[in-house]
Structure 1
Amino acid sequence: MLTVHHLGKSQSERIVWLCEELRIPYTLQTYTRRADNMLSPPELRALHPIGSAPVITDGEVLLAESGAIMDYVIARHGGGRLALPPDHADYPHYLYWLHFANGSLQPAMGRRMMIGRLQLPPEHPMRAMMEERLDRQLRLLDARVAAVPWLAGEDFTAADIMMGFPLTTMRYFAPLDLGPYAGILAYLQRIAARPGYQRAMAKGDPGMPLLLT
């Protein structure tokens, strides 16, 4: 049986959401962050050497990294659903945006968060550079989702599931004003309307206000 090991307020919400969209059977094992430092509790850290979520177990399989888990679950349990095949016209878009969240947007948000914690003055060149880089990425994303309903085009895919976390829950840790990006705000409302997303968040993080505006 596929088990999703989910840490509250973390990237593992993606895997819960994926399973709900695919409507596949799975067991949800939830963990609570430590009160003293907001990191993973010992029982989750003992599960996998990386010591963080997401992690899945599936029989003898133990796998971490949300992108890798996404591919695994789609291939092994989802019959290829929510991924586009290589011969699909929108396959390049699917690939690009599938990897954009963890490859570009989240690192930029993380660097901005760390610079903020260092309390660098607004005029510091490093701070200005990070702000400009993040804005470029958000403007690119904003233009994409203003032009098409979903990142790959007309079809909702795993790329949208990957993108959801940095635009929503990650903002608990890295506050970000999305007011200037009307396309992204409209995109988040499309995500919020999906029953699979609603079920996933209710199961994985019940009672947590969702940052969808």
Structure 2
Amino acid sequence: MIVVHHLNNSRSQRVLWLLEELGLEYEIKRYERDPKTMLAPASLRAVHPLGKSPVITDGELTLAESGAIIEYLVERYGASVGKGRLAPAAGTPAYLRYRYWLHYAEGSLMSPLLLKLVFDKIERSPMPFFAKPIARAISGKAKSSFITPQIATHLDYLEGELENNEWFAGKEFSAADVQLSFPIEAAAARGGLNAGRPRLMDFLSRIHARPAYKRAIERGGEYELLS
């Protein structure tokens, strides 16, 4: 039995969604963030040394990292569910796009979004009154000169890719769309994604309307990205 070690408001939500899309049976072991630090509890380290989520166990296998988990589940179980395998045929141009987007989501897109989260928190963090102007000035400069332009570049790139493709790997919905969902939802939650990028907004509307997405939310609990 597949067990998802599920941290609230985290990347593990998309693993639940993938499992629902594949129609696989699974169990959820829940973990809650520390309400003060918003970090994962130390108990997750008993599952994986990094103490991060998502992590799945499948028999004797323990596997972390969203991309690795998604590839494993699709390759191990996708073929058994026929049309719902969620990956293009190997060796096709669509498959190359699929693999690219699987790795791009975390390897490129999430970095500036995480930086924005960190610098936003620096601006809001309690500190001596004399340090606040300095911290805010440094944070503001980092965001205006690098982070915000980088986010805009990535979102414009994604918007353009959807101009000629219904989904990121091509005409068919795939696990690459599942993988990309988290950073695109993060962009919507943290700014930078608006009516000026209608294709990405439509992408979010379409994935949120999928029955499997809704079932994952029902099983995983209320989902709110950190901001």
**Do the structures match in fold with TM over 0.5?**
yes
Do the aligned partners of 1:122 and 1:128 also contact (CA within 8 Å) in 2?
Answer: no
Do the aligned partners of 2:116 and 2:143 also contact (CA within 8 Å) in 1?
Answer: no
Matches within 5 A, 1:92-131: 92-116=96-120, 117=122, 118-120=135-137, 124=141, 127-131=144-148
Q: CA RMSD in A?
A: 2.2
Closer, same or farther: CA 146–189 of 1 in aligned 2, 3 Å: farther
Closer, same or farther: CA 136–36 of 1 in aligned 2, 3 Å: same
Greater gyration radius: 2
Q: C-alpha separation between the residues in 2 aligned to 1:119 and 1:20?
A: 43
Q: C-alpha separation between the residues in 2 aligned to 1:121 and 1:62?
A: 41
Matched, 1:199 2:215: yes
State which drifts further: 8-17 or 92-101. 92-101
Do the aligned partners of 1:9 and 1:169 also contact (CA within 8 Å) in 2?
Answer: no
Do the aligned partners of 1:115 and 1:127 also contact (CA within 8 Å) in 2?
Answer: no
Deviations 1:4-54 (CA, angstroms, capped at 9, x unpaired): 111010001111011000001111112111122111123223211010100
Matches within 5 A, 1:136-175: 136-168=153-185, 175=190
Matched, 1:176 2:214: no
State which drifts further: 88-97 or 63-72. 88-97
Do the aligned partners of 1:11 and 1:54 also contact (CA within 8 Å) in 2?
Answer: yes
Do the aligned partners of 1:108 and 1:133 also contact (CA within 8 Å) in 2?
Answer: yes
Deviations 1:47-70 (CA, angstroms, capped at 9, x unpaired): 110101001111111111111111
**Where does the alignment leave 5 or more consecutive residues of structure 1 unmatched?**
none
Larger relative helix fraction: 2
State which drifts further: 82-91 or 52-61. 82-91
Cα deviation for residue 129 of structure 1 reads 2.1
SS at match of 2:147: helix
Amino acid at match of 1:177: G
- The count of residues paired between Structure 1 and Structure 2 equals 208
Q: TM-score, normalised by structure 1?
A: 0.88
Cα deviation for residue 78 of structure 1 reads 2.2
SS at match of 2:136: coil
Do the aligned partners of 2:151 and 2:192 also contact (CA within 8 Å) in 1?
Answer: no
Matched, 1:82 2:95: no
Partner of residue 59, structure 1: 59
State which drifts further: 110-119 or 30-39. 110-119
State which drifts further: 81-90 or 57-66. 81-90
Aligned sequence identity (%): 38
Q: C-alpha separation between the residues in 1 aligned to 2:218 and 2:53?
A: 18
Moved over 4 A (4+): 169-172
Q: C-alpha separation between the residues in 2 aligned to 1:122 and 1:38?
A: 21
Q: C-alpha separation between the residues in 2 aligned to 1:44 and 1:65?
A: 14
Do the aligned partners of 2:55 and 2:65 also contact (CA within 8 Å) in 1?
Answer: yes
SS at match of 2:114: helix
Q: TM-score, normalised by structure 2?
A: 0.83
Cα deviation for residue 104 of structure 1 reads 1.0
Partner of residue 6, structure 2: 6
Amino acid at match of 1:156: F
Amino acid at match of 1:202: E
Do the aligned partners of 1:14 and 1:161 also contact (CA within 8 Å) in 2?
Answer: yes
SS at match of 2:102: helix
Partner of residue 206, structure 2: 190
